[in-house]
Amino acid sequence: MPSRKYPLITQGFYHVYNKGVDGRVTFCDKREYLRMVALLNYYRFDSLPLSFSHFLRLTKLQQNSIVSSLIKRSEKKVKILSYCLMPTHFHLLLQQIRDGGISEFLSCLLNGYTKYFNTKHDRPGHLFLGQFKASVIESENMLVHVSRYIHLNPYTSYLVKTFEELLAYKWSSLPEYLSSNQTEDAICDKEDVSGNFATPNGYRQFLFDQKDYQRKLKALKDLVFERPLNQPRRLVSPKRAPLGVET
């Protein structure tokens, strides 16, 4: 993975995202989404006793014992605040817990998933772009809004058509945010975001209030930036209305 021009700061918060090479689909079915979620859950921890592929060879009892031990130690490379998996890309909201944590986490995550995907589909080479994108989060307000952006992504992109379908979308951390209980198997450390809302329903309303505005912004962005290079924008002056006629 290429080195970054600006290093990621420990204890800093970042919006991290990447997509398939050539815009290809990276999650084709339920099993692939489940594998990525399992990798997210596993590789966020530090000082792992074995790779995920070896972890899978253990009995269920042995796996549960290792995961319980990792949770109790609470040593992490990164904290995952929120995530969303889409057919061709993913979004993560992360806090780096130790030096180099995010880069190491992404390396393990993407290498592990790519090996699984390539074996399953009998293909060679890279699956994701070589350099993941990382935007620094500069304020608590920005942290909350980026979390909303991530969770609304399936709705913004019309992967789901209605807000009710979004609430049922399985491949994001939104179900964790809408639950009032923090279970042991939860992936996200959501307190930095959810602490700004009195109840999970308050966060749900926060999403609902901006869902159509975010979808509109996405449409405008696509209109401006995804026009083919051989089709320059054509500016047309509006016809003047006759005097006394309202337009």
The three-point CA angle 151-156-162 to 5° equals 85
24 domain-assigned:
yes
pLDDT, tens digit, for every residue of 124-149? 999 999 889 999 999 999 999 999 99
Domain membership of residue 151 as a residue range: 13-223
231 domain-assigned:
no
37 domain-assigned:
yes
The three-point CA angle 135-141-146 to 5° equals 45
138 domain-assigned:
yes
Please tell me the distance from the alpha carbon of residue 209 to that of residue 42, in angstroms, as a whole number. 34
Confidence at residue 229, expressed as pLDDT on a 0 to 100 scale: 37
Judge whether residue 243 has pLDDT over 50: no
Confidence at residue 242, expressed as pLDDT on a 0 to 100 scale: 35
CA proximity to 173, closest of 5, 12, 37, 28? 37
Confidence at residue 184, expressed as pLDDT on a 0 to 100 scale: 67
Domains in the chain, number? 1
pLDDT, tens digit, for every residue of 17-55? 999 999 999 999 999 999 999 999 999 999 999 999 999
Please tell me the distance from the alpha carbon of residue 224 to that of residue 233, in angstroms, as a whole number. 9
239 domain-assigned:
no
Domain harbouring 147, CATH code: 3.30.70.1290
pLDDT, tens digit, for every residue of 62-113? 999 998 899 888 899 999 999 999 999 999 999 999 999 999 999 999 999 9
pTM score, two decimals? 0.85
